[in-house]
Structure 1
Amino acid sequence: MSMYGISGYTVMIPIWKAHWGLTVDYAQWSLIGFMAAAGVSMTLSGYMVKRWGIRRVLVVVTALSAIASVVGGLLTDWGSIVGIRIVLGLCAGMITPLTVSLIYQYLPEQKRALAMGWWSMAAMLGPAVGPVISGWLYVQFGWSSLFLFSGLLSMFMLGCLRRIPRQSISTSYTPFPLRQFILAGTGSASVIIGLSQVHYWIGAGWGYGMVALAGGGMLVRLVQISAADKQPLLHWPLFKYRLWTLTMLWNGIVTLALYAGTYLIPLYLMDVQGWNAADSGWIMLFPSFIMVLLAPVVGRLYDVVGPLRLMFSGLLLMLIGSLLLASLDSGASVLSIISAMFIRSVGVSLVTTPGNHMGMVCLANEHIAQGSALSNWLKQLLSACSIAIYSSIVMLGHNSVEGTLVTVSRIQAAFWVSIVFILMLIPIWWLLRNNRRQMSPASPIMNGG
């Protein structure tokens, strides 16, 4: 549901642009506002779980998401739509880390790897089928149906939450770290908004660069304050654990490489090869759906073959698939495109599910909520960074008279940057291999040591 809030609405940017006569920059605020709001609310999830419990927080934010979605379907002006997308982003930012916390709080240890596989499948389902569903809904019922569909998903989730046992609520008073929240929220939003406009930094848009720089300064200050706080909003002391730090590096670099396909493939299909949005969605569906189907399989294999073999195999497949995508020209066949995407998608499944599970299994149970919040918050920031990197590379060729040819070369260059990120995973894998003893349930980190 949370991932659909991003992937399902990307296809609406050109439609809203034409409907209201907006520029691309204004139309993208429906996505930027969502991501910025999600980055802000993710910082709150750890504190809110400790104060009110997972079930209660999830029920409240899911109900709010359902109401906001219904309201969004009734709106008729652009400013209100951006506002309601921000509200939906606030809800999605809370839901994502809390669903991970559910797995590690309610399921026995031997079932967690498989459950993370199913969780990864659900997370990948949004990018896989979101554009196809949204395109069909728009053609059949108009753009307001996307909001109503999001509302139905929220209502379905509310029904599922009824099966979660009620928790005892903490009676001890924990002061809300307001200063840390302001720094985390404002810093996150500033970095995401600033990086989303990185291609305008040189010239009239230099102010966005200053916004990103100021946001980075706030986040540095946040780390300094949190280190001295016994009850930090984001639990930075988790980075003193070597295995946690390595898995966060792994997941972060995977995120940077992952968004090359998410951002560049639609651009290549529509701007270079001339496919329309619906056809592009169908071309992307098969490789993406394979990634979805593999997620629970990888979760089951986690305890059979071990995470390191899965991660290294996925690394190689991501590298091969990205090399094939970087070699595509304007006349590439659909079969060659799908084949390259298929290889890359299999690799993505093999590196993401073990990485996500390893990042949680190395923590003590009382740190799961804080670890999930911090991990997802960092991924949100890195997602914005990756989109900024790839978009800036592609935008460099837009002023050339060679048009499409330069666009192809820029897309290829952007994929080569993603290949550099993938190669950076090799030394991290080697370091994880040297720490493989800490991956066992008997490790001191698992027991809070």
Structure 2
Amino acid sequence: MNTSSQSGALAPLTGGKLVLATLAVALATFMNVLDSSIANVAIPTISGNMGVSVDEGTWVITLFAAANAISIPLTGWLTQRIGQVKLFVWAILLFVLSSWLCGIAPNLPMLLGARILQGAVAGPLIPLSQAILLGSYPKEKSSHALALWAMTATVGPIVGPALGGWITDSYSWSWIFYINIPVGLFAAGVTWAIYRTRETPVKRIPIDKVGLISLIAWVGSLQIMLDKGKDLDWFTSPVIVGLGIFALVSFVFFMVWELTEKNPIIDLRLFKGRNFLGGTVAISIAYAVFFSNLVILPQWMQQYLNYRSVDAGLATAPLGIFAVLLAPVMAKIMPKSDARVLATLAFLGFAGVFFMRSFYTTGVDTWTLVVPTLLQGIPTALFFVPLTAIILSGLPGDKIPAAAGLSNFSRVFAGAVGTSLVSTGWNDRTILHHAQLAEQTSVNNPNFVASIDALQNTLGGSASQAMAFFESSLNTQAAMLGLNDIFWLSAVIFIAIIPLIWLTKPGKDGSAAAAGAGGH
């Protein structure tokens, strides 16, 4: 979003009003980012309480992300129709309402419906919070405003998993959604009290209805296909084949329509720019790998290592420590650095972290789990800002809102797709490793017979009890090997996409760098 007209017409806020306004806007951002990660550690509990598989429970995350991705490109049009401040406050209040609906949901379909609503109304919160903050500070202090914004956005990954785990274990998973209610009401109330006299101009402009409907059609059908593919045995199922064909046809129609529409909902012509194309593809693939691993790591810890939700959360929480500490540093070094070098260092850092994880064993201790997560905070700090700066560099000012919206749409949707693909990939690799390990479980294998006899003596039970224990160990080992494959492939992907960064042109566009701070 662009606040130049607003900041040009209105004086910056000062004193206590500025502090309170920053707190309110930051809390709205924090609430949104928190909700993207807080459910991760609660998925096994939610799934168990609702009598569904963990794979089905993962829909709680992916459908939120898909709905969020669809609504992001609508932010510019809605802002012009409703006004920046009103839209921001309404988005917060609807987020509060949908959070309450999530909390009271008695079954998975109702929870998923509430999460879709929550993701949809969350779309405008991130870009508007950044725009409102920039309009509140003097121009020379914009880097400080964006550093505060980035710190708020990165606190979510620290607090989310640990807070979600503690609430789930100590109270009920419903409270991971209920906590948004007081935070949201405070943020909406303070924002309205301070900013209602600082509203942006409103004008009636047409919306690309055909583009919007076709966007919802292909994104929705593709996401359902990816989420249900594993359960329905992929393309042996006529349902999956039908969804795939519908998604493909809708996508092709969407592309043709948007490229010929005068006022498209998504300006695909932006991909003609080398920096926008390379940067957007790189950040989307990277975020898909980054986010999907954040989802499956705590699931594995709870399902196979018997971690409680709160312990899984605490083990993954250190991710945000370096990300927060380095956020102000990034604001200072970005204008003086080549963003391509910083982004390359980020990808190398991610590759190193995932390579470390690819050597995990079923006997892994907490310290070995925490160290890569702590180190991952360093490339996380180097990740969003430089890549978004590359994406927006060289663009005229009037194109930056559309470009930011499209790149955010691509990134968030890639996160949803990546989560579905990685969950499926982990399951497939686990099945493969289970089959390979099970080949050794034959009565003709003297080592296997000796192991069962030893187990029977140790457990003091029957042969069937010993076999059940052995099968459980086999499942755990297969899941570990499958996850190691995912970690190794994740490291390879981060290395493989580095050339995308270097296809872009070098640039030190100040406005792009500033806008890049909103990449979270």
Would you call these one fold, judging by a TM-score over 0.5? yes
Give 2:423's aligned amino acid.
S
- Partner residue of 1:157? 187
2:97 corresponds to 1:67: yes
The TM-score, its normalising length taken from structure 2, stands at: 0.76
Answer yes or no: is the 8 Å Cα contact 1:320–1:343 preserved in 2.
Answer: no
Change (3 A) 1:189 1:2: farther
- Partner residue of 1:381? 413
Give 2:506's aligned amino acid.
R
Instruction: Give the deviation of 1:91 after TM superposition.
Output: 1.0
Q: How does 1:245-284 map to 2 (within 5 A)?
A: 245-284=277-316
- Partner residue of 1:143? 173
- Partner residue of 2:478? 406
- Partner residue of 1:30? 60
Answer yes or no: is the 8 Å Cα contact 2:85–2:200 preserved in 1.
Answer: no
Q: Secondary structure at the match of 2:307?
A: coil
Answer yes or no: is the 8 Å Cα contact 2:161–2:313 preserved in 1.
Answer: yes
Of 218, 223, 227, which aligns to 1:196? 227
Q: How does 1:166-315 map to 2 (within 5 A)?
A: 166-171=198-203, 173-200=204-231, 201-202=233-234, 207-208=239-240, 210-315=242-347
Answer yes or no: is the 8 Å Cα contact 1:43–1:373 preserved in 2.
Answer: yes
Answer yes or no: is the 8 Å Cα contact 2:292–2:422 preserved in 1.
Answer: yes
Instruction: Give the deviation of 1:184 after TM superposition.
Output: 0.8
* Separation (CA, whole Å) in 1 of partners of 2:79 and 2:131: 9
Rg larger for: 2
Listed as ranges, the gaps of 5+ residues in structure 2 are 1-30, 439-473, 514-520
Instruction: Give the deviation of 1:71 after TM superposition.
Output: 4.3
* Separation (CA, whole Å) in 1 of partners of 2:161 and 2:69: 22
* Separation (CA, whole Å) in 2 of partners of 1:96 and 1:303: 23
Alignment RMSD: 2.9
Answer yes or no: is the 8 Å Cα contact 1:43–1:184 preserved in 2.
Answer: no
Answer yes or no: is the 8 Å Cα contact 1:121–1:292 preserved in 2.
Answer: yes
- Partner residue of 2:499? 427
The TM-score, its normalising length taken from structure 1, stands at: 0.87
* Separation (CA, whole Å) in 2 of partners of 1:328 and 1:25: 22
* Separation (CA, whole Å) in 1 of partners of 2:484 and 2:55: 24
Instruction: Give the deviation of 1:225 after TM superposition.
Output: 0.9
2:194 corresponds to 1:124: no
2:374 corresponds to 1:342: yes
- Partner residue of 1:446? none
* Separation (CA, whole Å) in 1 of partners of 2:401 and 2:334: 22
Instruction: Give the deviation of 1:154 after TM superposition.
Output: 1.8
Deviates more, 1:140-149 or 1:219-228: 140-149
Identity percentage over the alignment?
Answer: 21
Q: Secondary structure at the match of 1:274?
A: coil
Instruction: Give the deviation of 1:77 after TM superposition.
Output: 4.6
Give 2:212's aligned amino acid.
F
- Partner residue of 1:328? 360
Answer yes or no: is the 8 Å Cα contact 1:314–1:350 preserved in 2.
Answer: yes
Instruction: Give the deviation of 1:17 after TM superposition.
Output: 2.4
Listed as ranges, the gaps of 5+ residues in structure 1 are 444-449
* Separation (CA, whole Å) in 2 of partners of 1:146 and 1:251: 29
2:120 corresponds to 1:87: no
Answer yes or no: is the 8 Å Cα contact 1:58–1:98 preserved in 2.
Answer: yes
